[in-house]
Amino acid sequence: MQLIHQPVLLKQTLGYLDPNPGENFIDCTFGFGGHSLALLEKNGPDGKILGIEQDKEVLEKAVSNERLILVNDNFKNLGEIVKESEFGKVDGILFDLGVSSWHFDQSGRGFSFKRDEPLLMTCSQDGFSAQEIINQWSKEELVSIFKEYGQERYAGPIAEAIYKQRKIEPIKTTGRLVEIISQVVPMKYQQGRIHFATRIFQALRIAVNDELDNLKQALPQALEILERNGRLVVISFHSLEDRIVKNFFRESAKKGEAEILTKKPIVPDEEETKLNPRSRSAKLRAIEKN
């Protein structure tokens, strides 16, 4: 099967996880298996990988391998998943926190502002959608998530415009939301380096999928599960995620639980960003358990 998601920082990920024959790894964000397939090439003939993927539709498209155990769940339940899967000693754990290109380009769930789709942004079948947030949450709650999760400077005016428009009729599509945003942000802002709807879409996606809280829950579980000298690698794609990872790694090192392997985050080189423009904001951090 051809991979739809180009694995980001693959060479660097393999370098820090340092897979050897017979070792076991957990890929907490399996996606289409790009990183896992590369690990399977290195940890044979009897090393295993536990792949966790919360999106059932993505998992149905996944590759199969006799040394690969796939689970449809959220990585916030990491400890429970490992226990239920009776997965043996763990030598390395990977989190690639990026949303796959498939979600943006082919899922039809409204992750991208580039096409008109239902305003869902769901990575799993549980919980609520972006449509519910936009149409049911209070104006104050909208301002809060736009500021906190999107770092959006025009959070107030955008929330006010949404509040007014949804009184007239429900806002159901990405196209309609982009149109509303465009009516309230200055023209200069609309002509900026990044698309003017980027931060609002990011904020909604984070809120819908509870991305930051899930990460906060999962990282301590990951460190606990690892064998001594086992390695934890996290690839993040925006400053909010990276801050959580950086702080957790720093605290773990302070307590003597782990050693930080990346003094500064590892970022893609020019060649990778040319081949895969979506990799440009990626940051890799790694620690080794004491």
Structure confidence by residue, pLDDT tens digits, 95-139: 999 887 778 888 889 899 999 999 999 988 677 899 999 999 999
The residues, ordered by sequence, that sit 6+ positions from 51 with a Cβ below 8 Å of its Cβ are 26, 27, 30, 33, 36, 62, 68, 69, 70, 71
Res 4 pLDDT > 50:
no
Which CATH number is 10-102+211-289 given?
3.40.50.150
Query: What mean pLDDT do residues 204-227 have?
Result: 97
Taking each helix axis from N to C end, the angle separating 174-184 and 155-168, rounded to the nearest 10 degrees, works out to: 130
Question: Which residues of the chain are in CATH 1.10.150.170 domains?
Answer: 104-209
Res 66 pLDDT > 80:
yes
The span from the CA of 16 to the CA of 230, in Å, is 10
Res 5 pLDDT > 70:
no
Of the pLDDT bands very low, low, confident and very high (cuts 50, 70, 90), residue 1 is very low
Q: Could you tell me the two tokens for 246?
A: 């950086």
Determine the topology of domain 104-209 in CATH: DNA polymerase; domain 1 (1.10.150)
Question: Which residues of the chain are in CATH 3.40.50.150 domains?
Answer: 10-102+211-289
Q: Which residues of 267-278 are buried (b: 16+ CB within 10 A; e: fewer)?
A: ebeeebeeebeb
Query: What mean pLDDT do residues 185-204 have?
Result: 94
| Cα-Cα-Cα-Cα dihedral sign, residues 228, 284, 113, 217 | positive
Query: What mean pLDDT do residues 36-57 have?
Result: 95
- Give me the residues paired with residue 4 across strands: none
Q: Phi and psi for 234 in degrees, rounded to 5? A: -125, 130
Query: What mean pLDDT do residues 210-227 have?
Result: 98
Helix (H) or strand (E) holding 49: strand 49-53
